[in-house]
Chains A and B, each alone.
Chain A
């Protein structure tokens, strides 16, 4: 097995993880119809105490706890593409590397708050509500690293000035578009209703669809690059 084959293994983890995340997302009862921030403490406690919901909350969040960090190897493959770009310094590569851990680790923390809320749902409703708030604000509002990651990649692509650039320039524009789609979610706590609220159009539907779309599109362009390079290097599939 040569060293590029290892990259293929990491690459083919992505579709597997994508399915895992999608299933966990659908199993968590708080996502399918996103929980409203206007729910009272009693309603939030009832949501966690509901014997139909409780196992689904725990199992889906355990799955996310296992696999949310698994995004990092995938994004590391994008770092390998940035390394191949025609840059004068490794600065943009380091910028991108510095963003990799932030997003998944913050999701990991949100995930802990959800699991804690579900650990003893018989606790005072106000406590369950507080953990639920911490989880949703962390999950929804923490888009900074993902935004920066998209912007740094776009800059890296624009500055990759060679006859055959590593990524075509539409990939840069696409990343900027995703960054813009994620940005409004930062202000999630300002409103309990409307598009910015954590169950709102921008903060929930646009933000999460943008992340899903980003993973799908980047998987495709990354896979194309990896396979093209193998063909050129004459490595048998």
Chain B
């Protein structure tokens, strides 16, 4: 779907900031989220979780739980089949352990009862005999040949010899002659880095309400980023046909990638099938931390060579990511993203995915990229410091641009990196003075962006309003953006359009809300659906006027006679055509279905000023500015919102957030008190500068914006803190004890 090059259009609505259509429901408390739905005869479900990091399940005795008054069903892995498909089997085994529990918090049983209190009581009556096994939670330890093996036989052939079976896969990207490149360098720096696992931290815990009748028809209400994928997974696990399971996405209280899979949904359906009653499961916050999310933790080695003038001559990264107890492909994305911002003659990245006794990682905003780019941008900053070069000038000197062979293979089309860097360089933030104990850091960020399977229906109502049916849960204002694009294309006011997110029985398959794909891909499909409806409306007008269909054009929301007939008939508005549609051929609609490509990569640059308290090691963020290319900002408020929210998640990752495991392999901080996400008083305003370098792959030039903003804060803050205290830090989070330790060592 090419960018409308010839139109050079002046947008009337796209780029404005109207109120979101779901605003009133959300400020009045009427919006219905996962836990807000009930059904007649509903039971309460609860899940039994492993107290151990790694253990064989010798036996489970559920008889006492089943005998408890009010208990209607108890399930274990024995109530599930064993899917042939390996991916589906992993999803199921993560929802309900089979044979072994693989991490602290791993589900191994569930009950449905007449109340939450009875369900909880019943869990305590399930007797499990565990044979405790040795465990491993650290990525480097898990790779050693003598490490406890989390799962046997999961290692792919491309993993080299001498490593534990926990290493499941290996990847490699790059081009050019590394040795020759490093030979040309005046300075080479090699550093090792570690980052902790962090959780997406959505405020809404996972929740669902499931019913499954004896005839095999089911309904599932749940908070998810993708109801169609939930249907695929649940139908596969339960052995029912997709058409028989209707999944409705509730309003979603945050996801950030963490609600792109299932945890409780197949369990609730299985309990519903066994009990013959609707079953609701709502996770506690502790369960969310123990058994969902988080992102990978990493261990990384980076080597970069630079000339005295600041040109990078060669760059190399080795990335080791642990993704918990099941195989993942996250390191591939880190390895591809690591050096994306640079135009390099010689570059190589290698990555290893590793199993540990931790919860299975889930996508988290630009999965795999923040840690790799943190490590790279830290070394680039240290090179700049040692060579006394301006870090922004060095980025500009090495910046990837149109025509650059990227470090991961493709050649870039129009990209906004250079414009973004120039905007940062010209911004007053970059030259503002700093005081003692203060430091300024910067970092580039990158995300691939994604298009994917998308399907939109657009119905013209007889009163001249428009209904749009799309299939992607709205995680940050997308219904407003979709409505704006439809109104723009049709030439009608924004408030004449209503966009709804459909259930799985009402629309064709849509990929999950991920990859920053919705405004790009659903937007593109909406524009094309509007164009198809316009074609129908022009045909109807032609019929009324008795002229040829191709002699009618659509302009300013009206059909107009064109060519030799120009001016022969008064224009007919959308409302006028819709009003008489019954007499001209029936209802008018537009559809568009696509597996969209051309998402257009996204770059951003962040500037961060911090002050470090030399007595406590605590870091205060003083000033923060985000620069990012949005292609075309459809609703700038929500583009800024993505930039600000992503930046603050990255700030939390950099300064505070981490999964802390004890020697016993148990998670020690499964709550918001001890897993500290940023609060309002931690932060300054997050300033934003939106650049618009049109994406050649979208009619309006739109690029996804949601993921890139979490990437730069890690290095921007690390570089700022390192410059403030005069010591380089190579580990995240930079919690006060670590920073204080570095200050004390410096002396």
Please determine whether chains A and B interact with each other in the same assembly.
Answer: no
